[in-house]
Amino acid sequence: MVTLTPREHVERELGRPLTDDAWSFLEDGGYTDPELYKPREVADIVRTLGMSYSKPVPPHLSGDIGTPMVPGAELLEERAKAIADFMAKAAEGDNGVRQFRSKHLPGGLIAANDIHDFVTALYRDHLPTAWRVGEPELSDAAWWKAHNEVRFGRPRLRYSLAYWMEPRIDGWIAGRWPVPVRSPLAELGELSEHLADKYRWNQYEAAAWALTGLSPHVTPITGSSTVGTNYTRDIGSYDVTSRVTITLDPTVSPEQLAAWWREVRHRMLPGRYRPQQVKALRLARFAARSDPDATWEEDRRRWNAEVGGEHPDWRYKDVANFRRHAKDAVRRLLYVGIESP
C-alpha cells in the first residue's frame, strides 16, 4: 500500500500539483497540520484563494508582446495614443474622479515615483484597529497571506480590493491589496474598476492615472492567456485547456491580426507543433471512453470491431502497437508543450 505525504493528499484533492512556494505558504500558515485541517479543507483554501494573485502589467508598459511586429504598427500606435489622450481628457470630467482627487489629492496630482509612498501612507492612516493585515507589498506570497488572513481571520473582516502601479528600475510593476471597506484605498479600487469598465483601461493603469494623470494606453491588439499545467492521477500533466483571449480595435486589419498572432503563437509553441491526424484523434477519443477495467487486448478487439469496418487500414493485429499508438495519441492530445508568451 502506497502512503501519501500530506502534500500529495492535498494535490490529490486538487487534481493538480502544488508549487513549492504555495506549499511553503501553507506550511507557514499551519494549514498542513492534519490535526487542524483535512486535505479537502486545504484544497478548498487553495481553490478559493488561487495559486497566484499577481496581475501582469500591460504589454506596452512591460515591453512584452505589443504591436511592433505587425504591418502598419506606427499608425496603430499613433491612433492608440490619440485615443488615449481623448479618453483621459473625458475622464477628467468624471464625477468619481473629481470627488476622489478633491478629497484625497488636495495638493494636486502626485509624481509616478511617489505612488508607493502615497498608497502606503493612505493605508496606514486609515487602518482600523481590528484589521490584521500589515503594510501593502507587491509579492504574490504577501498578497496571498494577507487575503487569507482577512478571509479566514477572527473576526472575519469585509474587504475591498485596491489596485495600483508604480515604476521600478526594470519597468512598471502592478499590485493589488485587500483593504478595509469605506477606506480611501477602497475608494481608489472602486474608481479604478469604474474607469476600467467605462474607458477599456485596466484597473492598474486607471489607478495610476487617477493619482498621476499619466494617460493609460489602450493597445490596438492585446491578448491574455491562461496557460497552466493541470494534473490528474490517471492522465498526468495536461495543458490542453490553455486558452488565449484577444482584444482588438475593430479597425485592425486581418493581415495585422495574423502577423500579431503568428508571433504570439510562436512564443507559446516554441517547439515544432505537428497537428495530429484523424486516426490519432479517434484513438484518443476511444481511449477516453474505454472501460478502465478492460485489458489492452479487449480494447484492441473493440477498436477493430467499431472502427475497423469503416477504416480497414486502421485495424490493429498487434496489441503492443495498439497500446503504444493509443498512449501516444492521448499524450500528444493532452500535453502540447504550451508556454506563457
Type of residue at 72: G
Strands 236-238 and 230-232: antiparallel
**Cα 106 to Cα 100: distance, rounded to the nearest angstrom:** 9
Type of residue at 3: T
**What is the grid cell recorded at 298?**
479487449
- Evaluated on CA atoms 74, 78, 80, 81, the torsion sign reads positive
**Cα 341 to Cα 336: distance, rounded to the nearest angstrom:** 15
**Cα 176 to Cα 97: distance, rounded to the nearest angstrom:** 19
pLDDT of residue 104: 95
**Cα 255 to Cα 71: distance, rounded to the nearest angstrom:** 8
Collect all residues with Cβ–Cβ distance below 8 Å to 316 and sequence separation of at least 6.
300, 303, 304, 322, 325
| Residue bearing cell 480590493 | 161
Bond preceding residue 180 cis, omega within 30 of 0: no
**Cα 103 to Cα 267: distance, rounded to the nearest angstrom:** 46
pLDDT of residue 123: 86
Strands 243-248 and 236-238: unpaired
Q: Which of 245, 333, 258 is nearest to 288 (CA)?
A: 333
**Cα 17 to Cα 234: distance, rounded to the nearest angstrom:** 13
**Cα 104 to Cα 108: distance, rounded to the nearest angstrom:** 9
pLDDT of residue 109: 96
**What is the grid cell recorded at 226?**
491562461
Tens-digit pLDDT string for the chain (341 aa): 457 788 888 877 766 667 666 677 677 667 788 777 888 878 777 665 543 333 333 433 333 445 557 888 888 888 888 888 899 999 999 999 999 999 999 999 999 889 988 998 888 888 777 776 666 665 555 666 666 666 555 445 678 888 888 887 656 778 778 888 889 999 999 999 999 999 888 888 899 999 999 888 777 888 877 776 676 666 667 788 888 888 888 999 999 889 888 888 888 887 788 899 999 999 999 999 999 899 999 999 999 999 988 999 999 999 999 999 999 999 999 988 888 77
pLDDT of residue 67: 55
Half-sphere exposure in the Cβ direction for 110 (13 Å, CA): 18
Collect all residues with Cβ–Cβ distance below 8 Å to 141 and sequence separation of at least 6.
21, 25
Q: Which of 327, 106, 332, 113 is nearest to 214 (CA)?
A: 113
pLDDT of residue 289: 92
